[in-house]
Amino acid sequence: MKPPTDNDHAPLLVALNAAAQVHLIIGATSLAAARCTKSLQAGARPIILAPEAADIHFSLRGNIEQGLAQWVKKEFQDQDLTTLGREEVDHVVDAVFVTSGAETPLVAHISKLCKRLRIPVNVTDAPDLCTFTLLSTHSDGPLHIGITTSGRGCKLSSRLRREIASSLPADFGQAVDRLGALRRRIWEEDQAAGRSVAKLEVEDEDSVAQSHTFNSLVTAEDANAAKTRRMRWLSQICEYWPLQRLASITDSDVDAILNAYAADHSNGTPPNTDIISKRNQGKIILAGSGPGHPDLLTRATHNAIRNADIILADKLVPAPVLDLIPRRTEVHIARKFPGNADQAQEEFLQMGLKALREGKHVLRLKQGDPYLYGRGAEEYDFFRNEGYIPVVLPGITSALSAPLFADIPATHRGVSDQVLICTGTGRKGAAPEPPTYVPTQTVVFLMALHRLSSLVETLTNTAPSEEKERRVLWPVNTPCTVVERASCPDQRIIRTTLEHVCRAVEQEGSRPPGLLIVGASCHVLHSPEGQKWVVEEGFRGLDELRGEAELLLNGDNDTKA
Ligand code: SAH
């Protein structure tokens, strides 16, 4: 490809109506196939010009077999340009795509001929021979976005296209459709009512931007402006509303806007846009809040906390996280206690649903990660069935962070090559099937400390029943660690072995929530060394980091001062 010259002018970007046009595609390679697809998308009729012996690309062949594209089996001849086209334009083809043999004398000749006949021509990899190039496009219904880097790089164009497309709200094409329909209806109704209306097309021109005196045009005193107030109001929402809000307009909103206007019109006030902002806007986020320390929230969850109208928090979500909730926000903490879990859950779901129906933004805040023993998917399913698809945000799970805060590497070369996360409490409080002993495995038991002795008993001592195939018992000297309130200021770690863990917990007392880690990895960095157990109190790591950052910041200020 030739490097573009510095004195390139800006190309004139247009949207061509190519419906029913004849596009002559010279060549049969994958590139010809891509051009063919583009032509078909635009409603044109592609003609593939390639000799009988040509190796036809499979997708091109498919289009030919389906009758979507026509294959003219011959080499190019000058008269093809003026004989293969539509009758209504005297058989001159509407556009030519040369997809192979860049810059051969024949291709240069075709280009020259096309230019003379005013036929738009595109030659692959030869900008000088083209009178037009294709844009990298994103299409969503009636919305089409095209990008060109003027030949600097098609990969870059498509990257930009993806970035721009992903910055738009999902299904924005539908919103464009609805707003277009609303605009047309207002225009038609105004015209039928004999109001002086600007031509629709003119309103689209960027050059007729609203002046800064726009608002003064829509005062009640200005009778003329009042006549076209709906149209002006619509321009204004298109101009100022956040795209997300425009994207959430529904068909019934459109009716509501028109009706509201009909009611309001008589006294000259603009339509009440709250009908849109307050309806059908219910949104639910299901988020994990991490193990406890507020610095372990993700930014996404932190944002959700700041922006929610109502927060439904699990009982385990600790106070420092709840402290981040703005004062204006309604908060409910689950009233879960043993024997009441299902009822509390149901109460929460109904509360969430009610708020959603009122158009509120609901945050369901869970401890750790929402999908790890958090009933997250059940809640997802519930709200989805009610027509509200939750956004789910991950959280740092206690199952993996508590071992870390206790200096236990969940995997460690030569010691542990796998991790198992399980629960000590099954459905309805029953004990779940205990895992078999794997020497190279780190096992993390959640919700297990309240029945620690029976768990340790089954792991180490209770012979597996026959039908439950070869479960290997755990040696009593297997290292294990209890981590409670991981990442909270009152974090406590008890390092011991399966032999002594029950005694240790009995003696030290419990400090929920806590979990049990079992496996050789427990003693990689610390071991009780001759003692039955060792207790470590407190959690400082993150606050120390914070302190340093603040110190640095202050130091900086000092130097500036
Ligand atoms: N979804 C949560 C787990 C919910 S089950 C997560 O991903 O972390 C609740 C259990 O998690 C508790 O019984 C306890 O075993 C464990 N747990 C939660 N927070 C903890 C913490 N800060 N320290 C230790 N264990 C914790």
- Among 286, 295, 316, name the best residue to mutate to test ligand 1's pocket (greatest count of ligand atoms within 8 A of Cβ): 316
Task: Work out the number of other CB atoms within 10 angstroms of the CB of residue 220.
Answer: 11
pTM (whole model) above 0.75:
no
User: Angle formed by the axes of helices 376-385 and 341-357, to 10°?
Assistant: 40
Question: Residue 436 is part of a domain; what is its CATH number?
Answer: 3.30.950.10
CB of 446 shorter than 6 A to ligand 1:
yes
- Asked, for residue 187, whether it belongs to a domain, the answer is yes
State how many domains the chain has: 4
- Asked, for residue 142, whether it belongs to a domain, the answer is no
Looking at ligand 1, which residue's alpha carbon is closest to its atom 15? 446
CB of 398 shorter than 6 A to ligand 1:
yes
Task: Using the Cα atoms of residue 282, residue 288, residue 294 and residue 295 in order, give the sign of their dihedral.
Answer: negative
Locate 244 and state its tokens: 């997300």
Same domain, 369 and 455: no
355, 379, 396 - which closes a domain: 396
Domain span at residue 248 reads 172-201+216-278
d(CA 321, CA 546): 16
What residues have CB less than 8 Å from 167, skipping those under 6 apart? none
351, 380, 396 - which closes a domain: 396
Burial level of 287, CB count in 10 A (0-12/13-18/19+)?
A: buried
Question: Residue 299 is part of a domain; what is its CATH number?
Answer: 3.40.1010.10
Distance between Cα 311 and ligand 1 center (Å): 20
Output the tens digit of pLDDT for each of the chain's 561 residues.
455 554 568 999 999 999 999 999 999 999 999 999 999 999 999 999 999 988 999 999 999 999 999 999 999 999 999 999 999 999 999 999 999 767 789 999 999 999 999 999 999 988 899 999 999 999 999 999 999 998 888 788 988 999 999 889 888 999 999 889 888 888 888 778 776 555 554 444 444 444 333 333 344 444 455 556 777 778 887 888 888 888 888 777 777 767 766 655 545 455 555 545 444 579 999 999 999 999 999 999 999 999 999 999 998 898 889 999 998 899 999 877 667 778 888 999 999 999 999 999 999 999 999 999 989 999 999 999 999 999 999 999 999 999 999 999 999 999 999 999 999 887 776 778 889 999 999 999 999 999 999 999 999 987 666 545 678 999 999 999 999 999 998 999 999 999 999 999 999 999 999 999 999 999 999 988 889 999 999 998 787 777 665 655 544 433 332
134, 150, 182 - which closes a domain: 134
Distance between Cα 446 and ligand 1 center (Å): 6
Distance between Cα 329 and ligand 1 center (Å): 26
- Asked, for residue 126, whether it belongs to a domain, the answer is yes
Same domain, 129 and 254: no
Same domain, 475 and 405: yes
Same domain, 273 and 335: no
- Asked, for residue 149, whether it belongs to a domain, the answer is no
Question: Residue 109 is part of a domain; what is its CATH number?
Answer: 3.40.50.720
Same domain, 61 and 123: yes
Same domain, 264 and 327: no
- Asked, for residue 184, whether it belongs to a domain, the answer is yes
CB of 406 shorter than 6 A to ligand 1:
no
Same domain, 440 and 515: yes
Same domain, 404 and 537: yes
Same domain, 370 and 478: no
Distance between Cα 459 and ligand 1 center (Å): 21
CB of 392 shorter than 6 A to ligand 1:
no
Same domain, 391 and 404: no
- Asked, for residue 487, whether it belongs to a domain, the answer is yes
Same domain, 341 and 328: yes
- Asked, for residue 268, whether it belongs to a domain, the answer is yes
- Asked, for residue 153, whether it belongs to a domain, the answer is no
- Among 336, 485, 515, 518, name the best residue to mutate to test ligand 1's pocket (greatest count of ligand atoms within 8 A of Cβ): 515
Same domain, 25 and 106: yes
